[in-house]
A and B are shown apart, each in its own frame.
Chain A
Amino acid sequence: MSRPNSLLYLDGVSVSFDGFKALNDLSMVIGPGEMRAIIGPNGAGKTTMMDVITGKTKPDTGEVYFNGVVDLTGEDEASIAELGIGRKFQKPTVFESHTIWDNLELALKGPRGPFATLFHRLSAEEEARINELLKVIRLGEKAHELAENLSHGQKQWLEIGMLLAQDPKLLLVDEPAAGMTDAETAETAELLKDIAKTHAVVVVEHDMTFIRALGVKVTCLAEGSVLAEGSLDYVSANERVVEVYLGR
C-alpha cells in the first residue's frame, strides 16, 4: 500500500536507547478502517512502536505519517491525539479519583483548551453520548462511583470506553485482555470487533485465543522489526516466528 492512501505509514523507523535498538528499521502500513493484531516476544518493540506513533518517543530515523500527509514525528502527544489517534495503555490507566462519568466526560471529543474547559457546560448531546458509552462498556450502574474502586477488567473497559469517547480514527490498544478471565476476554474480543466496524484498530496481544477470535491480519515483531505478516495461520507457520516467539 502506498503512503497517500494509507492511514498509518511507518517506514524505516529506528529508535535506540543507549545503544540498545528498541526499533530497528521498522516498516508497517495500516489502511483506513483496517484492524491489525501485533504479536511478538517481550522486548520486540511493540510498546516503543506505540510510543513513536503517539509522539511519546521521537524516532532517531524513519518516517511516520498519519492519513498519508501528516508527519507525526513533528507533533506532540496532545496534537496527535487531536488528530485522531487514541491509545490504551498496557497497564490500565484511568483517572482514579474521578468518577466513571467524569472519566468519560474528560475523554469526550470537544475543545481541549483551558479557557474552553473553564467555561464548559455539559450539553444534552454530550450527556446522551456518555450514557450510550456507559452502556457499551457495561458500567451504567457504576457511573458515579470512583474509578479507583473498579476491578482490573472494568478498568480495561473503562479505558476502551474513553478511547471511544475520543472518537479517534485509529485506536492503539495495548494488551486489552491482560488479567481477564476467559469469559471477559471473549467479550472484549467482541467489543473490539464491534469497534473495528467503524474505526481502524491496532491491537497488541499475547493471548493467541484472543487473536484468533479477532480473525484479522497479524504482524509479528521481533527485535524491533517485522518478522512476518499475514493471516494468523500463515504467521504461525513461519519457522522464525515459531523459533523466537511461539516455541515448538
Chain B
Amino acid sequence: MGREFWAGDGFLAILCTGPRNEGGVNVESRWFMSFFKSFLVLICLTFGFASVAAAQEDIESLRPLVNALAKGKFKETEKQIGALAATGNSAVAPALEALGDGDLYARKSDGVVFIAKKAGKGYALTDPLTLEDAGEVGRRAVSKIKVNNGLRRVIRSALGSLTLQSADPEVRKTAAEAIFKAKDPDGIEALDGALAKETDDGVRLVMEQARAAAVLASDMSLEVKTAAIEVLETMGNRDALSVIVGVQNASEGELKQVADDAVRRIKKNLAMWDNAQNIWYGLSLGSVLLLAAIGLAITFGVMGVINMAHGEMVMIGAYVTFVVQEIIRSSAPWLFEYSLLIALPLAFIVSGSIGIAIERGIIRWLYGRPLETLLATWGLSLMLQQAVRSIFGPTNQEVGNPDWMSGAFELGQLTITYNRMWIIVFSLLVFAGLMLVLKKTPFGLFTRAVTQNRRMAASMGIRTPWIDAFTFGLGSGIAGIAGVALSQIDNVSPNLGQGYIIDSFMVVVFGGVGNLWGTLVGAMTLGVVNKFLEPYAGAVLGKIFVLVFIILFIQKRPRGLFALKGRAVES
C-alpha cells in the first residue's frame, strides 16, 4: 500500500490517505446540515458508479419509467415517482434530484427526459441515468417538468428511502447520519419505512438516532419526543447533547424537564469520558517520558552516572530515522512503510556505539566523581548538538509517518490516534525488553553484579570495564530507539534532546533511582498529573506545578517513590 503512496499515484494516494480524514467529520458538519439532499445524491453517485457499470441493462430498463415523469399532471407524476422509488435502484436518484430542483426537462421532439442546465442561449443536456453528456439544444426544444411543493416532499422521501434502503449498509448509514445532522422532520417517514426493513443492527441504531433527532425537530406529541430524548441519551455524545440542548432551549414545561434531566446525565457521562481522555493523553505523555527516561534509568539509576548528553542520544536516534527515510525516499521508496523498523536497530547501534565511545573516552576516568561527570557530559552534549547542527543545519528536519502510524479510531467517546497508541505500546515493549535483558540474560546478571559490588564481581572474573562500557552503551542505545519513536511526534532538530533531559531526570529521580519499575510508574504518574493539570492551569503553568511538586517531593523522599533501603545505599 505504501509503495503506491510514494510512487505518487494520485488516486490510490487519495484512497490511502482517506481514513486519515475521517477523524475530521465534524469539520464538515455545516456542509451536511444545509444540504443533506444533495449529499444523498452524492452518495448515490459515488456508490452508484459500480452498479451503473455492472448493470447497464437495468438502467436501460429504467428509462421508460423516467420518461414517464414527463407525462400527465401532478397526480400522475407523483405515481411515477413512487414507481421509480419502488425499483430501489439508486441510479434514478439524479433524475429525482433534478426533478425536485426543477432541472428535469422533456425533449419536445420525442418526449425523452434529460437533466438540463442553461448554457448560453440553449440548454446543456445530461442523460439522467447514465449521466453522460447529451449535447445542447435550443431553448424551445425542451419543456420543463413542473413540480409543486407537494411533489417536492414526495421526491424528498423517495430519495430518502432510495438511499435508506440501498443494498449497501454504508450508504444506508451515511444517509441516516445525514438526516441526523439535518434534523429534518420530513425524513421520519422514510426512516420508518427503512427501519421496518433494516437487518443490520449498527445501521438500525444510527437510523433510530436519526429518527429521534428528526422527531425532536417536528411537532409531534410529548410522549414521542420523550422517547426520542431517551434514544439520544443512550447515544451520549456531544452531537446528541447539542440536539437535546436545542430542545431544552426551545421547549417549556414537561418536555423541558425531561430534556434538562437528559442534558445533566449526558454531561456527567461526558465528564467521565473527558477524564478517560485525559488519562489517555496522560499515558501518552507518560510513554514519551518513559521512552526518554528509560535509558537514563540505566546510566543514572543502575550505574550512577549522570549523563547530561542523554538527550543528545535521543536526538541522534531521531536523526538516524531521518537519514534512513531520506535514503529510502531516494533509492527504495517501497520500503517506506518499514522505515521505522529499519531505523530502530540502526539507531540503537549508532547511539549505543557513541555511548560506548563516551564511556571509554571520558566517563571511565570520572567514576566516583558524579559532579565532574555531569559537567563533562554537558560539554559533550554541546559538542554533539553543534556537530549535528553543522551537518544537518539548525532547522527542523521532516520525518514522515508511515501509514500505520497515521489516523485515528474511536473507542466509545475517545479518539485514539495511531501514533500515540503505537508509542505507548512501543514504550512498554522497550521497558519489558529491558527488564528481560537485565533479569534474564548473563549480561544483565553481570551488570547487576558489577553495580552492586564492583570488586567482588571483578574477582569473580567479570571484566568490569567492559560491563561498564556495554551497560552505558545499552542505556544510550535505548535513548536512540526512543529517538526513533519521538521523531514521529516531535520536531527533529538539534535541540530535540534538550527538551527532554530535565524531564527525564525528573522522572528517574521521582520514580526512585536504581529501580526500573519506579521509572515506569514515575513516567506515567507525571504524564497523567500533567494532563489533568493542563485544563485548569494551562500547559506552561501545569508544567511549572509539576516541577515544583517534584522539587518538594524530592525533599520529602530524597530517594524517590521506590527507594532502595539498607546499608548498601547508605555507604
Q: Report the interface size for chain B: residues with CB under 8 A from the other chain.
A: 5
Q: Which residues of A contact B567 (CB under 8 A)?
A: 17, 22, 47-48
Q: Which of A17, A20, A22, A56 has the most CB of B within 10 A?
A: A17
Q: How many A-B Cβ pairs are below 8 Å?
A: 11
Nearest CB to that of A57 among chain B residues? Answer: B570
A17 to B565, CA, bound (A): 6
Residues of chain B from 550 to 571 with CB closer than 8 A to chain A in the complex: 564-567, 570
Q: Which residues of B contact A56 (CB under 8 A)?
A: 570
Q: Mark B48-71, 1 if CB is under 8 A from A, else 0.
A: 000000000000000000000000
Is A18 on the interface with B (CB-CB < 8 A)?
yes
A79 to B564, CA, bound (A): 27
Q: Which residues of B contact A22 (CB under 8 A)?
A: 567
A38 to B566, CA, bound (A): 22
Q: How distant is B556 from chain A, measured CB to nearest CB, in Å?
A: 16
Residues of chain B from 523 to 571 with CB closer than 8 A to chain A in the complex: 564-567, 570
Residues of chain A from 12 to 63 with CB closer than 8 A to chain B in the complex: 17-18, 20, 22, 47-48, 56
A175 to B492, CA, bound (A): 58
Nearest CB to that of A51 among chain B residues? Answer: B570
Q: Which residues of A contact B570 (CB under 8 A)?
A: 56
Q: Which residues of B contact A47 (CB under 8 A)?
A: 567
A22 to B570, CA, bound (A): 14
A20 to B567, CA, bound (A): 11
Q: How distant is A148 from chain B, measured CB to nearest CB, in Å?
A: 16
Q: How distant is A133 from chain B, measured CB to nearest CB, in Å?
A: 29
Nearest CB to that of B568 among chain A residues? Answer: A17
A68 to B567, CA, bound (A): 29
Residues of chain B from 136 to 173 with CB closer than 8 A to chain A in the complex: none
Q: How distant is A121 from chain B, measured CB to nearest CB, in Å?
A: 33
Q: How distant is B198 from chain A, measured CB to nearest CB, in Å?
A: 64
Q: Which residues of B contact A18 (CB under 8 A)?
A: 564-566
Q: How distant is B80 from chain A, measured CB to nearest CB, in Å?
A: 88
Nearest CB to that of B567 among chain A residues? Answer: A17
Q: How distant is B525 from chain A, measured CB to nearest CB, in Å?
A: 22
Q: How distant is A1 from chain B, measured CB to nearest CB, in Å?
A: 30
A17 to B566, CA, bound (A): 5
A120 to B565, CA, bound (A): 40
A20 to B570, CA, bound (A): 15
Q: How distant is B400 from chain A, measured CB to nearest CB, in Å?
A: 49
Q: How distant is A125 from chain B, measured CB to nearest CB, in Å?
A: 38
Q: How distant is A88 from chain B, measured CB to nearest CB, in Å?
A: 16
A56 to B564, CA, bound (A): 17
A20 to B565, CA, bound (A): 10
Nearest CB to that of B564 among chain A residues? Answer: A18
A17 to B563, CA, bound (A): 11
Nearest CB to that of B563 among chain A residues? Answer: A18
A75 to B284, CA, bound (A): 46
Q: Which residues of A contact B566 (CB under 8 A)?
A: 17-18, 20
Q: How distant is A115 from chain B, measured CB to nearest CB, in Å?
A: 25
Q: How distant is A60 from chain B, measured CB to nearest CB, in Å?
A: 12
Q: How distant is A178 from chain B, measured CB to nearest CB, in Å?
A: 16
A18 to B567, CA, bound (A): 10
Q: Which residues of A contact B564 (CB under 8 A)?
A: 18
A90 to B567, CA, bound (A): 14
A20 to B564, CA, bound (A): 13
Q: Mark A71-92, 1 if CB is under 8 A from B, else 0.
A: 0000000000000000000000
Q: Which residues of B contact A17 (CB under 8 A)?
A: 565-567
Q: How distant is A54 from chain B, measured CB to nearest CB, in Å?
A: 13
Q: How distant is B371 from chain A, measured CB to nearest CB, in Å?
A: 16
Q: How distant is A114 from chain B, measured CB to nearest CB, in Å?
A: 21
Q: Mark A136-154, 1 if CB is under 8 A from B, else 0.
A: 0000000000000000000
A164 to B567, CA, bound (A): 28
Q: Which residues of B contact A48 (CB under 8 A)?
A: 567
Q: Which residues of B contact A20 (CB under 8 A)?
A: 566
Q: How distant is B557 from chain A, measured CB to nearest CB, in Å?
A: 15
A118 to B565, CA, bound (A): 37
A18 to B564, CA, bound (A): 8
A227 to B565, CA, bound (A): 26
Q: How distant is B560 from chain A, measured CB to nearest CB, in Å?
A: 15
A18 to B566, CA, bound (A): 7
Q: How distant is A41 from chain B, measured CB to nearest CB, in Å?
A: 15
A20 to B566, CA, bound (A): 9
Q: How distant is B562 from chain A, measured CB to nearest CB, in Å?
A: 11
A17 to B568, CA, bound (A): 10
A173 to B360, CA, bound (A): 42
A22 to B566, CA, bound (A): 9
A56 to B569, CA, bound (A): 13
Nearest CB to that of A18 among chain B residues? Answer: B565
Q: How distant is A5 from chain B, measured CB to nearest CB, in Å?
A: 34
A22 to B569, CA, bound (A): 14
Residues of chain B from 246 to 265 with CB closer than 8 A to chain A in the complex: none
A193 to B30, CA, bound (A): 97
Q: How distant is B564 from chain A, measured CB to nearest CB, in Å?
A: 8
Q: How distant is B569 from chain A, measured CB to nearest CB, in Å?
A: 9
Nearest CB to that of A20 among chain B residues? Answer: B566
Q: How distant is B517 from chain A, measured CB to nearest CB, in Å?
A: 15
A20 to B569, CA, bound (A): 14
A48 to B564, CA, bound (A): 17
A56 to B566, CA, bound (A): 12
List 8 extra interface pairs beyond A17-B566, A48-B567, A56-B570, CB under 8 A: A17-B565, A17-B567, A18-B564, A18-B565, A18-B566, A20-B566, A22-B567, A47-B567
Residues of A within 8 A of B (CB): 17-18, 20, 22, 47-48, 56
CB-based closest 7 A-B pairs: A17-B566, A17-B565, A18-B565, A18-B566, A17-B567, A20-B566, A22-B567
Residues of B within 8 A of A (CB): 564-567, 570
Interface pairs (11), CB distance under 8 Å: A17-B565, A17-B566, A17-B567, A18-B564, A18-B565, A18-B566, A20-B566, A22-B567, A47-B567, A48-B567, A56-B570
